[in-house]
Structure formats: structure tokens, C-alpha cells
A = this chain, B = another copy of it.
């Protein structure tokens, strides 16, 4: 990413050419396999990016929370899947009923209790939403075993919820070994296949079979899955670069940071920390972020407002005042810390995009 002159740092920047390339390539990959693409908007939280994804051919958006769904629906993105089972209190029930009036809303269930609660709160609006059963394909987070999908679907139906299929998240596809990413994609296919059979045995058809993630994108093959929900790919990050699912040129988001101190020849300090980059560690990245201009340097320490960097052996530290790009380990948490993203084309600022769904956690 070429950085503009005269920036006040730290600031989060988007390289719009890289972003547009990432959006186009993922849409092509989905179309080539006959998949509907429903990108996860948690990764960017920006209306300007959601609209680009939809214009490129995405069928709708995935979001993580009801609050995110509200932000995107209010802006006219009205085909939304909230891909986390929620516990619907009375306030969320009111918000869901209001949202279902003007958005095509798909919701997740992974327990009978959650489904009953959801059905109860939706009341007569239950018929206006669609529900997917979450199954676990290996990450042991939420989701039922695929053999339990049918029973849960019957319980959801009994609660008034229209079940239209199943979904999973192959989070174990984060791996440096392409074979491991391939196996995660096959796990997903196998587990969703079992879920669809379990649903059919319970009398429930599955027009929607949803999976996918950025790391497994290269392993998509036509099969039972018909919808994919990658998120990180719009920007990519140090983790994707380290596991090899993107090149340095595909990194579309970075913090601009200034060298504030060179206390010793073996380290320099940047004015960026966990309050800009997020504190995510990555098992695949040598340090706490990636410096494209110093690809072999390691961010050995990340404080709230300091990144301590060890230059590669034989490299001199840059002088105080030097501005560098720092790519976060995990783009989703970095974006969620910023009020806006500075949009850059060929090193020139061209726009500012509000992070409209920043902090939309509930």
C-alpha cells in the first residue's frame, strides 16, 4: 500500500484498488462454482463496502449481531443472515419484529431453548423470517452435531420457525498447509451433508446449505454447499498473508504509524498499538502484525499505543518520523476500533468511510 504524505498517525487506511480486486476475485470464485456469495460484513462494517459487494453480485450479507443487521438494513441492505444463535430477550424481540417488517431476515438456532425463545418473541412475525440450524464441523464453538439437526429443526418448527436449511463455519480451515484447508472444506461438505439428511429424515427440506470462510475459499468444489460466507477476504490481513491465502498486493487495509523512538539499534517503536490494531495474536504470524516495507521485521511487543519492532538482522531501524504501514493480524477487530477508514487510491486519499457498524455488538 502506498501511503499518502502528511498523514496524522495512527490512522486506518484502505487501498481501494486492492479492495476492489479482492471483491471481484471472490465473486468470480463463487460464481465459478455455482455458489451464492453472502459475505460476512463483520469484517468491514462499512456501508460503502457492503454496497460494492452487493453490486458485484453478492446475494445478501452475513452479520454477527442483531445490531449489525439493523445498521445494514437501515442503509438499504435488506437481505441479511445473522449467523450467530442469539438469546432473544424482550428488547431484542421487539427489535427483531421491527426488522423483519422491512428486511429479508435469516436467523440461526442451535438449541431447542433458543428456538423456543426466538419463536415466542417473534410471535406472528415468525413466518416472515427464515431459520438455519447451526451444525459444528470441527471448531467446537456453537452448533449441534449434524445427526441432531433434524430433531432441532422439528423443535424449531414446533416453535413456529420456518427452517430452510443448515449452516456451519469451518474455522479449523485456518492453516498454513493447503491440505489442511482442503480437509476443512471437505469436513464442512461432509457435515452439512449429514445435516441435510438428518433434516430430510425429519421432513425438512434444505434449500439453503451455507458454509465457507476466507481460508477455505481456494478449496470450494461444487457439492451440497450452495452458499458461502467469507468475510476477511475484502481486506485480508497478516494472518491470511502468512497462511498463504493472499499475496502482499492483496492486503487492502493497514494502519499508518510513525516511528516515535529508536531506543537501541535492535528495536524501534511505532505509535500504534492494540487500541488500533487489536490485540489478536496469530499462530501463523511471527509477531503482532506485518510491516510490508520491512517484511522480515518482527513486532515483538504490542502495548496499547506502542508497537516495538525488531528489524531483520543487518537492517537498520528507520529514523524517528518515518511513516510505515502496519497490517493487523486480524482485520475484523482492527476495523471495529476505528470510527472511519481513510480510503486511498495510488497513495492519494480519495474518501473517508465511516465504520457504520462499529461497536454494534448487541
Residues of A within 8 A of B (CB): 6-11, 42, 64-65, 84-87, 89-92, 110-111, 113-114, 117, 136, 140-144, 171, 258-264, 267, 269, 271, 274-276, 278-281, 301, 303-306, 308, 319-321, 330, 332-333, 336-339, 359, 361-362
User: Is A87 touching B260 in the complex (CB atoms < 8 A)?
Assistant: yes
Name A113's closest neighbour in chain B (CB-CB).
B320
- The docked-state distance in angstroms from the alpha carbon of A306 to that of B11 is 28
- The docked-state distance in angstroms from the alpha carbon of A279 to that of B269 is 21
Given A86-B260, A87-B320, A142-B306, 14 more pairs with CB closer than 8 A? A8-B89, A8-B362, A9-B362, A84-B271, A84-B306, A111-B262, A111-B320, A117-B320, A141-B306, A142-B269, A171-B303, A275-B333, A275-B359, A336-B337
User: Is A142 touching B263 in the complex (CB atoms < 8 A)?
Assistant: yes
CB neighbours (8 Å) of A274 from chain B are 278-280, 333
- The docked-state distance in angstroms from the alpha carbon of A319 to that of B116 is 14
Contacts A64-B304, A261-B142; A359 near B338 (Cβ below 8 A)? yes
User: Is B259 touching A87 in the complex (CB atoms < 8 A)?
Assistant: yes
Q: Could you list some 12 contacts between A and B, CB below 8 A?
A: A7-B89, A10-B361, A64-B305, A89-B258, A117-B320, A141-B263, A141-B303, A271-B362, A279-B333, A336-B337, A337-B337, A337-B359
- The docked-state distance in angstroms from the alpha carbon of A87 to that of B90 is 50
Name A305's closest neighbour in chain B (CB-CB).
B64
**Total identical chains:** 2
Q: A304 touches which one: B42, B113, B269, B362 (CB < 8 A)?
A: B42
User: Is A321 touching B113 in the complex (CB atoms < 8 A)?
Assistant: yes
CB neighbours (8 Å) of A361 from chain B are 10, 275-276, 305, 337
Contacts A275-B361, A280-B274, A305-B84; A269 near B141 (Cβ below 8 A)? yes
User: Is B276 touching A279 in the complex (CB atoms < 8 A)?
Assistant: no
- The docked-state distance in angstroms from the alpha carbon of A87 to that of B262 is 12
Most B CB within 10 A of own CB, among A10, A141, A258: A141
User: Is A6 touching B336 in the complex (CB atoms < 8 A)?
Assistant: no
Most B CB within 10 A of own CB, among A87, A281, A319: A87
CB neighbours (8 Å) of A261 from chain B are 85, 110-111, 114, 142-143
**What is the minimal beta-carbon distance from A94 to any residue of chain B, in angstroms?**
10
User: Is B110 touching A144 in the complex (CB atoms < 8 A)?
Assistant: no
CB neighbours (8 Å) of A259 from chain B are 87
Name A109's closest neighbour in chain B (CB-CB).
B261
**What is the minimal beta-carbon distance from A170 to any residue of chain B, in angstroms?**
14
CB neighbours (8 Å) of A8 from chain B are 89, 91-92, 362
Most B CB within 10 A of own CB, among A171, A275, A321, A330: A275
User: Is B306 touching A333 in the complex (CB atoms < 8 A)?
Assistant: no
Name A84's closest neighbour in chain B (CB-CB).
B305
**What is the minimal beta-carbon distance from A354 to any residue of chain B, in angstroms?**
12
User: Is A140 touching B308 in the complex (CB atoms < 8 A)?
Assistant: yes
CB neighbours (8 Å) of A111 from chain B are 260-263, 320
**What is the minimal beta-carbon distance from A45 to any residue of chain B, in angstroms?**
10
User: Is B304 touching A141 in the complex (CB atoms < 8 A)?
Assistant: no
Contacts A274-B280, A361-B275; A113 near B319 (Cβ below 8 A)? yes
User: Is A89 touching B143 in the complex (CB atoms < 8 A)?
Assistant: no
Most B CB within 10 A of own CB, among A113, A171, A263: A263
User: Is B336 touching A271 in the complex (CB atoms < 8 A)?
Assistant: no
**What is the minimal beta-carbon distance from A231 to any residue of chain B, in angstroms?**
10
